Amino acid sequence: MLDKKRILDDPQGVAKALGRRNKDFTAEIAKLEQLDTRRRELLAEVEAMKAAQNSASKQIPQMKKNGEDTTAIMQEMKAISEKIPALDSEVKSVDDELSNILLFLPNIPSDSIPDGTESEHNIEIRSFGEPRSIENPKPHWELGEALGILDPQTAAKVTGARFHFYKGLGARLERAVMCFFLDTHTKRGYTEIFPPFLANRASMTGTGQLPKFAEDMFHIENTEYYLIPTAEVPVTNMHRDDILDVQQLPISYCAYSACFRAEAGSAGRDTRGLIRQHQFNKVELVKFCDPENSYEELEKLTLDAEYVLQQLGLPHRTVVLCSGDLGNSSAKTYDIEVWMPSYGKYVEISSCSNFEDYQARRANIKFRHGSDKARLVHTLNGSGVAVGRTVATILEVYQNPDGSVTVPEVLRPYMGTDVIR
């Protein structure tokens, strides 16, 4: 979340900065100012009453000792005692409203990203490989079903729409991609984590999924647990309420997890195949950084995500998102998009983001340099990368005229074959 003090010190400046997201947050910030003023008034009133109680607690014994009548002052203290709980309750109510506004306000976009209203205003910064020319390319779902390696029909019967059974070499391909990603990232300095696939409400709030995106989450009924939408949630919250030593930074983790998303509001979008599923596999990259070099680390993280795609020989491009296409918690994001022959366009396969201290403030993750005061870290993450989308891209990019699919060379040791027939 944003720093309340920063907002109150420069409400117009913060409103202008948030306005780059093409939404007006002036009303929310004005409401926050009003609530903060009311909170300070209430606290001053409570403090004055408690001071009066303290004074009276010393005065009453002396009055009694002097034989004076204490009826009036006792009645006054009784009235104060009855009023303080009501004021305390109002303070709590105001605090809850303040917290709610702060939890819903998005992050301030970095000055280094372009202004824009939608994805068409994103800027390509580099690309790798040339899209392969394939005459009448088949979509991956047709290839997968013809090869007997993808079975959405059985998954629909067992679970529902937007789920898949992988079979035979399809299951092995999914596993091979996952293992290749983890092996590659750990060789490049990441510590592998295998996290829980459930997270509690505090963890989901810490990384920004709650409360704003509750409808996109799968909630376990009668519990505070949610199915994770990405390993970002449990891995980032590993250090919730921690104070790290600056010598530990940057901390770099990679983690495989299954991911679960309700995809609320996405009806009709990529409903066939592996691109938009309710359950999918992903390898996530997460970093905790000193604010002084977090943007340097973002560049490294993005290059690490690109590297695995390059090793697979998958044509892709990297774009920097404009202010209007930026995720709620991010200050700057690079999207990596792979070429999908059947789509005839690039499709997102990874988002690499610097959240600056937005998540760290929510999750209370700090670091300390020696005896200095503890400060908030910067958190980063990126898909390293989405496994199902990679499988879909491999099937399409490496398809052959006879319906077979060539296995990328780096995956052959995992697959035990060079072709899927």
Angstrom distances, CA of residue 7 to CA of 22, 33, 92, 103, 281 = 18, 9, 21, 13, 38
* 231 contacts 255 by C-beta, under 8 angstroms: yes
Of 276, 375, 404, 412, catalytic: 276
* 314 contacts 379 by C-beta, under 8 angstroms: no
Annotation marks residue 412 as catalytic: no
d(Cα 269, Cα 343) in Å, to the nearest integer?
13
What is the torsion angle, in degrees rounded to the nearest 10, for the CA atoms of residue 276, residue 278, residue 284 and residue 288? Answer: 110
d(Cα 136, Cα 123) in Å, to the nearest integer?
29
Of 351, 356, 362, 383, catalytic: 351
Of 172, 261, 317, 361, catalytic: 261
Annotation marks residue 130 as catalytic: no
d(Cα 182, Cα 184) in Å, to the nearest integer?
5
Closest C-alpha to 232, from 388, 387, 390, 380: 380
Please give the structure tokens belonging to residue 266: 């996405």
Residue in this structure with the two tokens 């690490």, named with its chain if needed:
304
Of 45, 240, 348, 375, catalytic: 348
Of 172, 337, 389, 396, catalytic: 389
Annotation marks residue 362 as catalytic: no
Annotation marks residue 276 as catalytic: yes
Assess whether the previous peptide bond of 177 is cis (omega < 30° from 0).
Answer: no
Closest C-alpha to 393, from 378, 372, 408, 376: 408
Annotation marks residue 348 as catalytic: yes
Cite the active site residues: 261, 276, 348, 351, 389
